Amino acid sequence: MPIPTPHIELSDISQIAKTVIMPGDPLRAKLIADSYLSNVIQINSVRNMLGYTGEYKGHKVSVMGSGMGMPSMGIYSYELYSFYGVENIIRVGSAGSYSADLGLYEVVLAKDAWSESSYAKVQGGYDKPFIEPSDALNARILAAASSINTPVRELRIHSSDVFYRERFEDYIDINREYGCACVEMEAFALFANAKALNKHAACLLTISDSLVTHEATTSEERQNSFTKMLQIALEASI
Ligand SMILES: O=P(O)(O)O[C@H]1O[C@H](CO)[C@@H](O)[C@H]1O
Ligand SMILES: O=c1cc[nH]c(=O)[nH]1
């Protein structure tokens, strides 16, 4: 498909980095660009899915929102990988903890993602409920975290299509039967696209609320606590 694509307006492929950091919220993408990058240009505003390219410590890096849920992440990551020459996508998101042992603000690196979603099967015929990120990208992220002395826990995550479940307690079985430590809504589709297209994907999460204790962070606290995760992703991108 020629660029621009239906969902990304950038027509100069040289203006996008090989590594894209992707939060769900496009305003968080703007915040990352404003706070951490220099020489920033905007690369997308279609549907307000804001994207930017800039420099971090002299290295080119892009940041763009994915939107919420697997269909949205599926579209943006596919277009970035397939039509814009992107090699690595690092998702940076919030997650709900399924375990008393995993508290607010802790940073999780997805070891793999379990999902009930049909995304991977429909997209490329991948028919298993677990899917792995890139070993190489995860290793870079762990090395980056260690270089800035920031603890990260590599754990299995749940990628859910549903934020508001009628049976709230389902999380107890998902934790017990499948070993998922927390829930988010995009990584499984991102990992499926990366696998289908021979690209690299990883997912960093900050625990924003706990299904066990019902504690939750305020939006201001979320913003501050995301700093650790963002620094890890940025260090891993260079
Ligand atoms: O903070 P983000 O990246 O949006 O991630 C999580 O937050 C959203 C739900 O509130 C879902 O997108 C979920 O995956
Ligand atoms: O998907 C998500 C993200 C944060 N918290 C949740 O409970 N679910």
- Name the DSSP class of 2: P
Supply the pLDDT for residue 224: 67
Gap from CA of 29 to ligand 2 centroid (Å): 18
209 catalytic? Reply is yes
Burial class (CB in 10 A: 0-12, 13-18, 19+), 111: middle
**Nearest in space to 109 (alpha carbons), one of 77, 133, 81:** 133
* Residue nearest atom 5 of ligand 2, based on CA coordinates: 96
Gap from CA of 208 to ligand 2 centroid (Å): 7
Bridge partners of 5?
Answer: none
Question: Would the ipTM clear 0.90, i.e. be above it?
Answer: yes
For ligand 2, say whether the CB of 180 is within 6 Å of any of its atoms.
no
With a cut of 70, say whether residue 165 has pLDDT above it: yes
Q: Under CATH, to which class is 15-236 assigned?
A: alpha beta
Which ligand has an atom closest to residue 26 CA?
1
pLDDT tens figures, 46-102: 999 999 999 999 999 999 999 999 999 999 999 999 999 999 999 999 999 999 999
For the chain, give every domain's residue range. Answer: 15-236
pTM across the whole model:
0.98
| Residue 118 CB-half CA count within 13 A | 1
